Amino acid sequence: MKSTKIIYWVTTSIICLFASTGIFFMNSEMAIKGTEHLGIPRYLSLEVSIGQFIGMLLLIIPAVPARFKEWAYVGFGILYLTALNAHLAVGDTIAEILMPVLFFGLLLTSYLSYHKLRA
């Protein structure tokens, strides 16, 4: 049980840390060029950043009801699968393609350990 709790908090913290850096650097030149490269409109990257911030809060705050945490997991899952699809569509390098796969794996690990803790 203790190892499950550690796994949950480590994976969830990594996801939330990644989401928070995306929020703070969404106006950086690198982020703007990256979204242009993927063909993502500027307004959509702003909406995704706001969604990541809300999802991060839902996952990291323990008192949030399970129903909201479930939707945060769904939102992050869609985000990472869409990112994978975008990188594949523009023919990016393996490293760029593997990044959303890695984060989807962390998300899945967090999700499974969350449910193990609730049981």
Q: Is it the case that residue 22 has pLDDT exceeding 80?
A: no
Q: Is it the case that residue 84 has pLDDT exceeding 80?
A: yes
Residues 6+ positions from 30 with CB-CB distance below 8 Å: none
pTM of the model: 0.88
- Could you give the C-alpha distances from 34 to 68, 90, 113, in angstroms and in order? 30, 11, 32
What's 31-62 look like in SS3?
Answer: HHHHHHHCCCCHHHHHHHHHHHHHHHHHHHCC
Q: Is it the case that residue 50 has pLDDT exceeding 80?
A: yes
pLDDT of residue 28: 79
pLDDT class of 64 with cuts at 50, 70, 90: very high
Q: Is it the case that residue 112 has pLDDT exceeding 90?
A: yes
Q: What is the mean pLDDT of residues 89-109?
A: 94
Locate 104 and state its tokens. 């989807």
Residue recorded with tokens 């794996």 = 105
